[in-house]
Amino acid sequence: MSIVDRLRKACASYLGETAVSIDPQVRRDYGTDALLRGADADLVVWPSSTGDVQWIMRQATEAGMPVVTRGAGTGYTGGAVPTSGGMVVCVERMNRILELDVRNQVAVVQPGVITADLQRAAEAAGLWYPPDPASLHRSSIGGNIAEGAGGPRAVKYGTTRRYVLGLEVVLASGTVIRTGSRAVKNVVGYDLTQLMVGSEGTLGIITEATMRLVPRPAHVATLQVFTDGIDAAVAVVDRITAAGITPSTIEVVDAGSLAAAERYAGRTLAPSGTGALLIIEVDGTEGGIRDEARVIVEAARLGPVLGVDVAHDPATRDALWETRRSMSYALRASAPRKINHDVSVPRGRLGELYRCIAALEQAHGLWIPSFGHAGDGNIHVNIMIDPDDADAVARAERATSDLFEAVVSMQGSISGEHGIGFSKARYLPIELAPDVVALMQRVKAAFDPDGRLNPGKIWPDAPLPRV
């Protein structure tokens, strides 16, 4: 009997027949991410508790089987899929909100809880969970933590990292550890909680998270600013910042992305001649947001703009955000392959980044529409190609390398919120010195000496996946 057959039989006996599969289609489905890249799993298991995960890890260690943890599978860099088989441990059935502590403003959740479900639960209790990745209706909290997810509100409220107070983690050995606490302040020993954030399942499997909540803003207003191009849009952002206003969100959409969104929606979304769109949101007291909205409108109109709209009612605001959240899908419908790079630069160098993107389009003969979080300099740069066109693929690879080199020269980062996975592993040396990479690898070895957890990820010598 093969190792896979023995593990399937053992898992079926311990977890139940419906908690394990070696069906070829299931193995394929759970072996790919949002971009349909990865490799088939050898088998897929669905634990329901920390005890299940602990048992699974011990079985995998005994069998010498690699383990990849998967949540909702919405990732873009291959962090949650195999590169060459192994066991996929999918935590989507561990989806309970275990506790909502209103007095201490924390939620204790399992990793499979969908982000939007936590937001709704918090809001029903008069609280708020600010992180809002575009995939919030499908992505899970465990995946958000593992990838260090962000979202539009990061400019004011920060990314997922800021809201993780403590974790329960199963290590490769099957040992269960708890990190952090419910206290806002905790400096006892090394901060293993924050070390786990963004570790992409390479150090352990998150089985429970204690998440910080905040009071829900009483009022919100959303503005749209239409400009004739990116330079004018960046100038508006600079004027808003200079005015002393910190909006909860400042999103930018370039002309190419806006055109794709209009085709996808089947309607006009901006005035004729719009070269860039800003979506800006402020929250707080009723009087406060009215004053901030007024200052933003005044700051926008100090330069050439095509129009400014202000939405106070929830229905109008929701419609604006639905357009923004569908941007990635609109671009995906515009070409056979969308290569999404979530680069990040200091906000003051946003104009320089967009000039770089325009130069890359020209130099490599590619369409590279871009949009994202202007408030914190995190932009989604999308290289659109036909994967069956070998020349286009080669040009896209050269453009990617040039982009990352330029971003790091701007004192930025090659990934702001999507992680490294396998898709960016070869580019890691562009940003990190060899001594830093070696130190990270020693940390990895301390947690996972056999390299069993999520092999083939992050490190420059990671093997490429089967596509």
pTM, entire model: 0.94
Lowest mean pLDDT, pick from 98-102, 295-299, 369-373, 456-460: 456-460
DSSP 288-318: HHHHHHHHHHHHHTTS--SEEEEE-SHHHHH
The H or E element containing residue 396 is helix 390-409
Confidence of residue 159 (pLDDT cuts 50, 70, 90): very high
Q: Show Cβ contacts of residue 336 under 8 Å, excluding neighbours closer than 6 positions.
A: 385, 386, 387, 388
Residue 19 has pLDDT above 60, yes or no: yes
Side-chain-side CA neighbours of residue 392 (13 Å): 15
Note the pLDDT of residue 430. Answer: 96
pLDDT tens digits for 309-328? 998 788 888 877 877 778 88
Average pLDDT over residues 355-373: 97
Percent of the chain with pLDDT over 90: 88
Q: Show Cβ contacts of residue 155 under 8 Å, excluding neighbours closer than 6 positions.
A: 246, 247, 248, 249, 250, 373, 375, 376
Average pLDDT over residues 177-187: 94
Alpha-carbon distance values, 270 to 131, 250, 274, 368 (Å): 27, 17, 6, 20
Lowest mean pLDDT, pick from 27-31, 96-100, 456-460: 456-460
Domains of the chain and any CATH numbers: 3-93 (3.30.43.10), 97-215 (3.30.465.10), 219-328 (3.30.70.2190), 335-429 (3.30.70.2740)
Between 463 and 314, name the one with better pLDDT: 314
Note the pLDDT of residue 464. Answer: 44
Note the pLDDT of residue 312. Answer: 77
pLDDT tens digits for 262-293? 999 898 889 999 999 999 999 999 999 999 99
Note the pLDDT of residue 465. Answer: 43
**Strand pairing report for 249-254 and 214-215:** unpaired
Average pLDDT over residues 136-157: 95
Q: Please provide the average confidence, as pLDDT, over all residues in the chain.
A: 94
Percent of the chain with pLDDT over 70: 99
pLDDT tens digits for 102-121? 999 999 999 999 999 999 99
Note the pLDDT of residue 462. Answer: 54
Cβ atoms 90, 48 nearer than 8 A? no
Between 425 and 1, name the one with better pLDDT: 425
DSSP 243-279: TT---SEEEEEEHHHHHHHHHHHTS--S-TT--EEEE
Note the pLDDT of residue 466. Answer: 38
Positive or negative, the CA dihedral 308, 222, 377, 34 is: negative
Alpha-carbon distance values, 320 to 4, 248, 296, 297, 317 (Å): 48, 15, 18, 17, 5
